[in-house]
């Protein structure tokens, strides 16, 4: 339980509930580091939010170095999946991919101790600040994730699977490992990637559960969002997927 990206600066009064003294509410910012391999793309960014998913981080950085352009936004917070905040007012914890909508962050925030009203205010401010600084102006967001052998796979999204109701379409590639799949929010991305023989899942943007994940927020904003999801250690598969993303970017956005 390390960390605390907390300063003593007062937060913007407009974001606070009226019963919270502004001067006692420290700012919490998400622990973003940005690595650029050349000129940033004005309309595209790549994102890595789960600090324990090292294959995805290394593969994305390797791909960007080959492309020699673009940036990876990377949340770094001690190597764990969840972010823990501990300051003199409150202790809380959250999954960083569940905080991008107001509804999502309400259920994602696990407040351990202290002023939990302040915690949600801090978290909302930090998430909104991250979105407005880095993502809201983009046309395409590429997220990179990893899953475990007993965890998520494309099978979860097939008919009868646990995640099936929130999906519009699923394409299965007999040549791909079920743990290596794209999760997309636009028909354009689905068609492009499915036609190249990858596993692809198209989110149903009307019926998807608002769990605060970046895919839900991006759909609300009508931003093309692609999660490049691969099994832990599947570096070459994830690299091939990112090569397809680079081709997709050049076709539609660059």
Query: Between residues 125 and 145, which has the closer beta carbon with respect to Zn ion?
Result: 145
Q: Cβ closer to Zn ion: 50 or 98?
A: 50
Shortest approach of Zn ion to residue 128 CB, angstroms? 21
Three-state DSSP class for residue 127: helix
Shortest distance (Å) from residue 94 CB to Zn ion: 14
Q: Rounded to whole angstroms, how far apart are CA atoms 200 and 195?
A: 10
Alpha helices (H) along 155-211: 187-194
User: Could you tell me the smallest distance in angstroms from the CB atom of residue 145 to Zn ion?
Assistant: 3
Q: In the complex, what is the shortest distance from the CB of residue 197 to Zn ion, in angstroms, rounded to a whole number?
A: 24
Strand partners for 193: none
Q: 56 vs 121, which CB is nearer to Zn ion?
A: 56
If you count DSSP H runs as helices and E runs as strands, how many of each does the chain have, helices first? 6, 13
Scanning the chain, the segments in alpha helix (DSSP H) are 54-67, 102-108, 116-130, 187-194, 214-221, 235-252
Alpha carbon 223 to its chain centroid, in Å, reads: 13
Query: At closest approach, how far in Å is the CB of 81 from Zn ion?
Result: 7
Residue by residue, DSSP assigns 197-231 as T--EEEE-TTTS-----HHHHHHHHT-EEEEEEEE
Comparing CB distances to Zn ion, the nearer of 95 and 224 is 95
Instruction: Please give the residue ranges that form the binding site for Zn ion (CB under 5 A).
Output: 50, 145
Residue 111 CB, shortest distance to Zn ion, in Å, is 23
Q: Which is nearer to Zn ion, 145 or 179 (CB)?
A: 145
User: How far is the first Cα of the chain from the last one, in angstroms, to the nearest whole number?
Assistant: 41
Residue 69: φ, ψ to 5°: -150, 170
Which residue has tokens 């839900």? 216
Residues 6 or more apart in contact with residue 88 via CB below 8 angstroms: none
**Choice between 50 and 57, CB closer to Zn ion:** 50
């Amino acid at each position: 339980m390390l960390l605390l990206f907390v300063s003593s600066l007062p937060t913007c009064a407009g974001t606070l509930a009226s019963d919270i003294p502004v001067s006692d509410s420290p700012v919490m910012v998400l622990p973003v580091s940005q690595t650029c391999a050349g000129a940033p793309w004005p309309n595209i960014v790549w994102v890595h939010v789960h600090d324990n998913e090292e294959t995805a981080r290394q593969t994305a950085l390797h791909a960007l170095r080959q492309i020699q352009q673009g940036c990876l936004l990377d949340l770094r917070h001690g190597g764990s999946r969840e972010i823990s905040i501990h300051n003199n007012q409150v202790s809380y914890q959250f999954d960083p991919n569940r905080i991008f909508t107001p509804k999502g962050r309400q259920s994602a925030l696990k407040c351990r101790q202290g002023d939990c009203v302040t915690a949600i205010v801090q978290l909302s401010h930090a998430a909104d600040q991250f979105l407005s600084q880095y993502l809201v102006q983009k046309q395409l967001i590429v997220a990179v994730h990893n899953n475990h052998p007993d965890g998520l796979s494309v099978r979860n999204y097939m008919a009868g699977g646990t995640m099936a109701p929130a999906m519009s379409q699923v394409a299965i590639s007999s040549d791909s490992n079920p743990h290596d799949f794209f999760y997309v929010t636009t028909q354009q991305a689905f068609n492009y990637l499915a036609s190249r023989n990858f596993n692809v899942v198209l989110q149903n943007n009307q019926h998807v559960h608002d769990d605060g994940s970046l895919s839900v927020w991006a759909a609300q904003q009508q931003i093309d969002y692609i999660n490049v999801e691969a099994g832990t250690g599947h570096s070459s598969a994830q690299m091939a997927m990112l090569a397809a993303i680079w081709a997709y970017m050049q076709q539609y956005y660059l």
